[in-house]
């Protein structure tokens, strides 16, 4: 049964339309459920949710404000692997800004 399920999901993921349907239904719903579960288990995690409001107050359009990526639109209001606010402000990985600047020239 598990193998059969994995095979079907794998076939769906190979198709762009199938992926979009799966992402906009199952994946997004599971992400929401996971975040709600974390908030219920860890009341302090509400602070993470409040960061989204802070990000929108800094940049409602999710445009990076400073640094080598200034003007670039961040794709979504979630961040993978690190905080979103430093990315939107433009201070994320600031020690690499000179190197990135040289690459862009």
Torsion, Cα 18 14 12 75, to 10 degrees, reads -50
pLDDT digits (tens, 9 = 90+) for 61-77: 888 888 888 898 888 77
Instruction: Tokens for 51, please give them.
Output: 């960061």
pLDDT band at 3 (very low <50, low <70, confident <90, very high): confident
What is the reported pLDDT for 90? 84
Residue position matching structure tokens 């908030």: 39
| Cα(36)–Cα(30) distance, integer angstroms | 10
Residue 56 has pLDDT above 70, yes or no: yes
3-state secondary structure of 63: strand
Is residue 88 a contact partner of residue 74, using CB atoms and an 8 Å limit? Answer: yes
3-state secondary structure of 64: coil
What is the reported pLDDT for 7? 86
Instruction: Tokens for 37, please give them.
Output: 């579960």
What is the reported pLDDT for 92? 79
What is the reported pLDDT for 32? 78
Question: In the chain, what percentage of residues exceed pLDDT 90?
Answer: 1
Higher pLDDT, 41 or 10: 10
pLDDT band at 49 (very low <50, low <70, confident <90, very high): low
How high is the mean pLDDT of the chain?
A: 78
pTM as predicted? 0.46
């Amino acid at each position: 049964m598990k193998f059969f399920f994995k095979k079907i999901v794998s076939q769906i993921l190979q198709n762009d339309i199938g992926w979009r349907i799966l992402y906009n239904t199952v994946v997004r719903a599971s992400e929401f459920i996971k975040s709600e579960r974390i908030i219920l288990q860890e009341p302090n995690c509400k602070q993470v949710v409040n960061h989204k409001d802070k990000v929108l107050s800094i940049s409602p359009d999710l445009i990076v404000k400073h640094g080598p990526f200034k003007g670039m639109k961040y794709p979504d209001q979630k961040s993978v692997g690190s905080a979103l606010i430093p990315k939107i402000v433009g201070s994320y990985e600031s020690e690499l800004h000179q190197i990135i600047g040289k690459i862009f020239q």
